[in-house]
Amino acid sequence: MKDLSSRKPSFSLSNASPRTIIIGFLILLLIGLVIIMILFAGEASMDADDTVYIDESLKTIVNYGDDTPQDYWVQYKIYREDGILSREQVGDLYSYIMTFRKGPNVTEYKIPLKKGDYQIFIYISTVEENPKRVTGFIRSITI
């Protein structure tokens, strides 16, 4: 019977080629990314289209990816851009609760705006005693 304790290992990191080390690192990185994606798969996914101004209302379509309808706080904050380094808030922070369903959902803020360039900040937060921001979008619009 052979003595296996005196046998040298066939692979060690010190004699591995740089290509083997890089491939191993990339495989570990890919495994880590898959694990992170699995851990965060339960979160609702949201994405927003461009904001449009129609009939004195700012409207933004928010695409909601979860199958279960959910209530969220929607908050709008609007800034008029008066130059490269100058902007002023227009109106008050506007917020309301909206039920999001799978697919496109239209958020709306009725406000009269003058011609000019604006930045629209849209925040979506959970509805609870201590709300947590789920996502936020910044959109630019010219009226």
Instruction: Give yes or no: residues 58 and 126 share one domain.
Output: yes
| Residue 35: domain span | 10-39
Instruction: Give yes or no: residues 112 and 56 share one domain.
Output: yes
CA–CA separation, 58 and 109 (whole Å): 5
- Cβ atoms 107, 59 nearer than 8 A: yes
Query: Whole-prediction pTM value?
Result: 0.64
Instruction: Give yes or no: residues 28 and 95 share one domain.
Output: no
Instruction: Give yes or no: residues 138 and 96 share one domain.
Output: yes
Does the pLDDT of residue 42 top 60, yes or no? no
Mean pLDDT of the chain: 84
Domain count, the chain: 2
Instruction: Give yes or no: residues 55 and 120 share one domain.
Output: yes
Instruction: Give yes or no: residues 27 and 77 share one domain.
Output: no
Instruction: Give yes or no: residues 18 and 76 share one domain.
Output: no
Instruction: Give yes or no: residues 123 and 106 share one domain.
Output: yes
Task: Flag the least confident range among 19-23, 41-45, 56-60.
Answer: 41-45
Output helix, strand, coil percentages for the chain, rounded to the nearest 5: 20, 50, 30
Burial class (CB in 10 A: 0-12, 13-18, 19+), 6: exposed
Does the pLDDT of residue 14 top 80, yes or no? no
Tens-place pLDDT, residues 91-137: 888 889 999 999 999 999 999 999 999 999 999 998 888 888 888 99
Sign of CA dihedral 57, 62, 67, 68: negative
Instruction: Give yes or no: residues 35 and 59 share one domain.
Output: no
In a domain, 4, yes or no: no
Instruction: Give yes or no: residues 63 and 81 share one domain.
Output: yes
In a domain, 1, yes or no: no
User: How open is the CA angle 93-99-100, to the nearest 5 degrees?
Assistant: 100
- Cβ atoms 112, 137 nearer than 8 A: no
In a domain, 2, yes or no: no
Instruction: Give yes or no: residues 35 and 50 share one domain.
Output: no
Nearest residue to 92 (alpha-carbon basis) of 107, 78, 80: 78
Half-sphere exposure of 131 (CA within 13 A, CB side): 16
The domain that contains 97 carries what CATH number?
A: 2.60.40.10
Instruction: Give yes or no: residues 75 and 15 share one domain.
Output: no
Q: What is the pLDDT of residue 30?
A: 86
Q: What is the pLDDT of residue 76?
A: 92
